[in-house]
Amino acid sequence: VNVVLWTPDGHRLQTGSQTGEFTLWNGMCFNFETILQAHETAVRAMSWSHNANWLVSGDDKGTIKYWQTSLNNVKIKEKAHKEALRGLTFAPSDLKFASGSDDVTVKIWDFARCYTEQVLTEHGGDVKCLEWHPHKALLASGSKDSLVKLWDVKSGKSVATLQGHKNTVTATRWNKSGRLLLTASRDQLLRVFDTRMNKELRSFKGHEKDITAAIWHPFHDDMFTSASYDGTIMFWLLDLETPQAEIESAHESAVWTMDWHPLGHILCTGSTDNTTKFWCRPRPGDTWKDRNKMAKQDMGPSTIEEVREMGGLSRRPEREHIPGIGRGGKTSF
């Protein structure tokens, strides 16, 4: 599973696979709904427009496709890039979108005409991720050259280069206010930049393998989540350097993608172990938090292990509760 993406209304989850298929899951009952052969090669990127009317997707061949909400394919742009697409992102107005590719370019597209307006070529390696600023004509991209670049979309010029990572940048994510940029890398570090000053605020280390995905919580502006090549998921708060909670072996292998439900109560992850998993906080009345606390304080190792098996979530004693997600169960497919 290369991409997971909630529909804007949160009713369904859509996944893109290595075989080029779209799979739709019911977002409330978590059951399978339909499967569609969307691309001839692996689906690498998907993005919904802000008005929720259009979906764009990209694949290993560099093809971009337009989809209606009914998943009716209305446009195909072949050879949009010379190599695999790695990211797609809409402008706040939905009139334009951007794409990033292993061909070392970022392209700005006119959505209505499916026409390339600008080609941004200042990266020195494959472009692995990109995201449009939530309010401005500003684009952030990360590359195999270990650099994060900020682009003025109107001029097509790079206005800033953010340095610090020592390996491929795998994620660039704006928080909802657009003040902070979260970056992740194969150097096992997460970094948060204040783009008003082009200054790094803090770096975060906790993963033992390459970080493969990262995302901000949709409501809590100081909370973000990351995942790594060994299948671990970690939850962070901006003011604290250590992860506040982690799910060890959440997947059997690399977690390539994650997305929060629009309401922020469910996190979905996709992995090379061919599973899509939904993670949520405990249901009302569940006593997991109390049992977990009691086990840590009063019970022996065997009982702690029993509690961990029930929830699958490992917590360090000094960590705090994370708003929006608890130490509950998961649904796996």
The 3-state secondary structure of the chain reads: CCEEEECCCCCEEEEECCCCEEEEEECCCCCEEEEEECCCCCEEEEEECCCCCEEEEEECCCCEEEEECCCCEEEEECCCCCCCEEEEEECCCCCEEEEEECCCCEEEEECCCCEEEEEECCCCCCEEEEEECCCCCEEEEEECCCCEEEEECCCCEEEEEECCCCCCEEEEEECCCCCEEEEEECCCEEEEEECCCCEEEEEEECCCCCEEEEEECCCCCCEEEEEECCCCEEEEECCCCCCCEEECCCCCCCEEEEEECCCCCEEEEEECCCCEEEEECCCCCCCHHHHHHHHHHHCCHHHHHHHHHHHCCECCCCCCCCCCCCCCCEEEC
> Can you tell me which residue has the tokens 């090669």?
41
Give CA–CA dist 14/228, Å, rounded.
21
> Can you tell me which residue has the tokens 């909670």?
245
The model carries a pTM of 0.84
Q: What pLDDT shows up at residue 308?
A: 37
How far lies 124's CA from each of 109, 145, 239, in Å? 22, 5, 33
Q: What pLDDT shows up at residue 280?
A: 86
Q: What pLDDT shows up at residue 260?
A: 97
Q: Is the Cβ–Cβ distance between 269 and 286 less than 8 Å?
A: no
How far lies 138's CA from each of 28, 80, 151, 158, 176, in Å? 35, 22, 6, 10, 14
Q: Is the Cβ–Cβ distance between 111 and 152 less than 8 Å?
A: no
Q: From first to last of its 333 residues, what are the pLDDT tens digits of the chain?
A: 999 999 999 999 999 999 999 999 999 899 999 999 999 999 999 999 999 999 999 999 999 999 999 999 999 999 999 999 999 999 999 999 999 999 999 999 999 999 999 999 999 999 999 999 999 999 999 999 999 999 999 999 999 999 999 999 999 999 999 999 999 999 999 999 999 898 999 999 999 999 999 999 999 999 999 999 999 999 999 999 999 889 999 999 999 999 999 999 999 999 999 999 999 865 666 643 433 333 333 333 333 333 334 344 444 444 444 445 544 444 444
Q: Is the Cβ–Cβ distance between 258 and 267 less than 8 Å?
A: yes
Q: What pLDDT shows up at residue 285?
A: 66
> Which token pair is 253?
């292998």
Give CA–CA dist 170/184, Å, rounded.
6
Instruction: Name the residue among 170, 149, 152, 171 with its Cα closest to residue 160.
Output: 149
Q: Is the Cβ–Cβ distance between 53 and 39 less than 8 Å?
A: no
